Structures are given as C-alpha cells and as structure tokens.
Amino acid sequence: MRMHVLALALASFLSQSALGQPPGENLQFHVPDGFKMDFQAQQKNVILVEYVPQAESVKNWTEMVTVQVVLGSRTTLEQVLASLQAQPPQGCKDHKVAILGKGQENGYAFLSWSVFCSQTAVTGKPEFSWFKAIRGNDSLYVVFKSFKSEPPQEKVADWNQHMQGIIVCDTRLADRACPNPSKAKPQSP
C-alpha cells in the first residue's frame, strides 16, 4: 500500500516513502491496493486527483477515489453541510445525503457523509459515494470514494475504516504533528 501526501508548500503530490515528510500542512491518505492515479490537475486554487482500479480509467470506471484540495479556502464545514442539504450534487437526480460523522481529528474539524444518486447526468446510472472533508488551517480537503453500482457491505465497511486513516497534519505545529513516515501503519483500503 502506498502512502501519498499532499504538500501544499509545493502544491504537488509527493510520495512520502520516496521524499520524506514535506514541510507545512499535509493531507495524508493511503491509496487503496490495486488503484492507480489516472488524473491530476490544478485549476486556480483547486487541486484534483483521481484514482481508479489498475485495469480501469477515469473515463470508464466502477470505483474511483477522488482527492480535492481547495488551497486557501475559508469555507467552513457548516457551509459544506448547508450546501449539501440545500442542493443536490451537480448532475445528480433524486439524491439522498446521510451524515456519518462530525468532530475533531489531530486538531482539525472533519465531516463525513454519504450521497446516493439514483441517476447521474454523465452516466445515466446510479452512484454511491462516501466523503470526508477536513478543515485545515491552510485549505479545505475532501476525499471521497464513489461506486457506479451498489457496493457490497464489506466494501462500504472497508472504506469507512479507510477514511479514519485520512488526516491532515502540520510539521510546523507540535500539537498537529505528522506521523513519522517510517512508523506509519497502512490502513485497510
């Protein structure tokens, strides 16, 4: 399992095992086994990276993990929640949102939720997604996993456990320190 770190100081994705812990605020997460990065872009202050199973692509996928970072965002989690409750996700017909958790991890506020769309505009098929948003000091971080069909319960349980290992840390703040890369334990995807 690979650990990826988003180094905001460099605004690029770095492999923690290859380059060590980047300085500053970082999003840390494990790329699920069998997944590859298939898309990466930055437009203005938004970084977007998408991971899909090895044999798939972002144009034709059954499962996808998406990482979105809004650099310098001041959006609060309360605003994220209000937006979720006020309008459906773009291109989603007949949606249901369920809040899964809200609290603090490593000194940062987080919110997790799920969204079910009975039909998406792009594929015309249902989509099931589980999200985790973390309000950092420097940026807003959102990581989510989507399925194009209803996933088996064991995949949902695995992803919910995986989300617990997604954290924001900061090498500049002792009370929000980043785990030592050599001691970090991989999470089950």
In a domain, 186, yes or no: no
Do residues 114 and 97 make contact, with C-beta atoms less than 8 angstroms apart?
Answer: yes
In a domain, 65, yes or no: yes
Which residues sit opposite 132 in a β-bridge?
Answer: 112, 143
Domain containing 168 — which CATH number? 3.40.1000.10
Residue 37: per-residue pLDDT: 95
How far is it, in rounded angstroms, from Cα 128 to Cα 27? Answer: 24
In a domain, 119, yes or no: yes
Q: What letter would DSSP give residue 4?
A: E
Determine the average pLDDT of the residues in 43-61.
94
Residue 7: per-residue pLDDT: 38
In a domain, 86, yes or no: yes
Question: What is the number of structural domains in the chain?
Answer: 1
Residue 97: per-residue pLDDT: 86
More reliable by pLDDT, 90 or 48: 48
- For the purposes of burial, counting CB atoms within 10 Å of the CB of 30, is it exposed (0-12), middle (13-18) or buried (19 or more)? buried
Helix (H, G, I), strand (E, B) or coil at 47: strand
In a domain, 13, yes or no: yes
Domain that holds residue 78: 2-176
In a domain, 183, yes or no: no
In a domain, 64, yes or no: yes
More reliable by pLDDT, 16 or 39: 39
Residue 115: per-residue pLDDT: 87
* pLDDT surpasses 50 at 173: yes
Residue 145: per-residue pLDDT: 94
In a domain, 97, yes or no: yes
How far is it, in rounded angstroms, from Cα 141 to Cα 158? Answer: 21
For the segment 87-96, what is each residue's pLDDT rounded down to a tens digit? 766 777 778 8
For the segment 95-154, what is each residue's pLDDT rounded down to a tens digit? 888 899 999 999 999 999 998 888 887 778 888 999 999 999 999 999 999 999 889 999
